Amino acid sequence: MALPANAQILVGVMSGTSLDGISAAVAAFSDDASGRPRASLLHYTQRDYTPEERARLAAAMHEGSAREYCRLSADLGVWLGEAAATAMQGAGVAPADVRAIASHGQTLWHEPGHSTWQLGDAARIAECTGCAVVSDFRTRDMAVGGQGAPLVPMADVMLFAHDHEWRALQNIGGIGNVTMVPPASSASDVRVRAFDTGPGVVIMNGVMQRLFNRPFDQDGAIGASGRVLETVVRTLLDLPYLQEAPPKSTGRELFTPAFIDDVIAQCTAAGGSPADVVATATAYTAATIADQYMRFLSEHPHDVVVSGGGAHNPFLVRCLEGAFAWHGERFARPVPHVRLFDDLFFDAEAKEAVAFALLGYLHLTGRPGNVPSATGARAPRVLGALTPVALSEKS
């Protein structure tokens, strides 16, 4: 692939709320004639967590000691560095070719309105890779009154907008989040709407682990075999978070093991089988997304572009199409086309890692990485902190 002469290569690495593993994407960035960044994905890889690693991360979100938090952050830094190095090798780029690693790390705690904490020692990443590291992206937005999330909207606006229509970019990772993006051809001062829609696969995966001892519902097969318990879905839509107006963000602090146990209990009380519980959790995830669009998006998207782990669940995608159709009939609104990110751009699994690579690029070029209308920040800010490469390793 021929890259622009002014292209800068960055590696984005992150670990999401689903705790599947570490995503690492090597991407080349350059500015077009208008100063708008453009990205080319060079390579993507996923480093799956071992059961022991996943268990340590999950346990740390609910209990732990200062010693374990410290050790886990150091170990995670090594894991992130290994994933970045593997991605660089796959792309055929040397450390000297890479401007920086942009690491989101793993969120251990996120309390909107107060503070946030991502693990993953940046110094370890730098030593593993021989590259500079930009990390700690959320804290600066929170320091200026933002929620520290969502941060992917900057990539949605800069890289993935429709040429002429409003577009919703819906990520369904552990948590669901949407960015409502104006047409790329529109005026730059149009406000972007972005927020966490509620659960992504976190409840679905939790139910699968409890009832089937599997990490997720492969291809949505179990959910598709079950029966959706509509009364349970309607009850769960009364969740207070869903009533709150954006800007807002959420995480595993809300969708805890106790929350998942309650979903299972409600389904069981309604006469549901284990497969029915999975079907209901899946339908609930889709219903929360459609519900939030109807409540809080003033513009109606021409299409909804779905990414994240949930995009690989055909049953969830069908539930989402059905939820939009139901709301469209009820409120006489246009029904958006549901499309997969993979079909329009590149492997959707790489999207969030590319988004954080973009934030690293914006940091290095001195440009804001937050979207205040999405996070609630009082002003745009350059995000992240720089850990430089060792002087002996780059001239």
Which residues are annotated binding-site positions for ATP?
Answer: 16-23
- Residue 34 sits at φ, ψ, to 5 deg, of -90, 0
The greatest distance separating any two alpha carbons of the chain, rounded to the nearest whole angstrom, comes to 67
In eight-state DSSP terms, residue 353 is H
Helices (H), the chain: 51-60, 66-91, 122-129, 138-143, 153-159, 202-212, 221-225, 230-236, 240-243, 257-269, 274-296, 314-331, 341-344, 351-364, 372-375
Token reading at 140: 């600066």
Residues sharing a CB contact under 8 Å with residue 89, sequence separation 6 or more, in sequence order: none
Phi then psi dihedrals of residue 209, to 5 deg: -65, -40
Residue 35, SS3?
A: coil
- Answer positive or negative: Cα dihedral of 85, 86, 87, 93: positive
User: Who's near 253: CB < 8 A, 6+ residues apart?
Assistant: 109, 110, 111
CA-CA distance, 307 to 340, in Å (whole number)? 6
- For the annotated binding site, the residues are 16-23
